[in-house]
Amino acid sequence: MPSNITTDLNTASTLFSSMLISDPFRLDFLDHYSNILHTLSSHSQLAFVTHPSTSISLYRPETHIAIGNYYSLTHRHTDAIQSFRLALHLDRNFAAAWTPLGHEYCKLENTHAAIEAYRRAVEGNNKDYRAFVRLGVVYEGLEKRSFALHYYRRAVALRPGDGDMWGLMGGCLMGMERAEQAIEALKRGIVCNDYGIGDELGDAFHAKCRRLEMMFQLAKAYEKVRDRLEATKCLESCLDEFDKKEYPENSVDPLRVKVILIVEQARLLLTQWTAAGGDDLSG
Instruction: Considering only residues 152 and 92, tell me which one the structure prediction assigns the higher pLDDT.
Output: 152
Q: By C-alpha distance, which of 82, 63, 62, 60 is closest to 72?
A: 82
Phi, psi of 276 (to 5 degrees): -80, 0
In order, the DSSP letters of 22-70 are H-TT--TTHHHHHHHHHHTT-HHHHHHHHHHHHHH-TTSHHHHHHHHHH
What would the pLDDT profile of 190-249 be if each residue is shown by its tens digit? Answer: 998 875 443 344 467 778 888 899 999 999 999 999 999 999 999 999 998 887 666 666
Instruction: Indicate the CATH number for domain 3-213.
Output: 1.25.40.10
Percentage helix, strand, coil for the chain under 3-state DSSP, each rounded to 5: 75, 0, 25
Asked whether the beta carbons of 273 and 227 are under 8 A apart, the reply is no
pLDDT at 15: 59
**pLDDT at 54 > cutoff 90:** no
Q: Tens digits of per-residue pLDDT, 249-283?
A: 656 677 778 888 899 999 999 999 888 764 444 44
pTM for this model (two decimals): 0.83
Residue 283 CA to its chain's centroid (Å): 38
Q: Give percent of the chain with pLDDT exceeding 90.
A: 55
Q: How far from chain centre, in Å, is Cα 173?
A: 18
Q: Of 115 and 3, which is predicted with more confidence?
A: 115
What mean pLDDT is reported for the chain?
84
For residue range 138-148, list pLDDT tens digits in order: 999 999 999 99
| CA-based nearest residue to 204, from 172, 258, 157, 163 | 163
CA distance 228 to 160: 29
SS3 177: coil
| Residue 67 near residue 83, CB atoms below 8 Å | yes
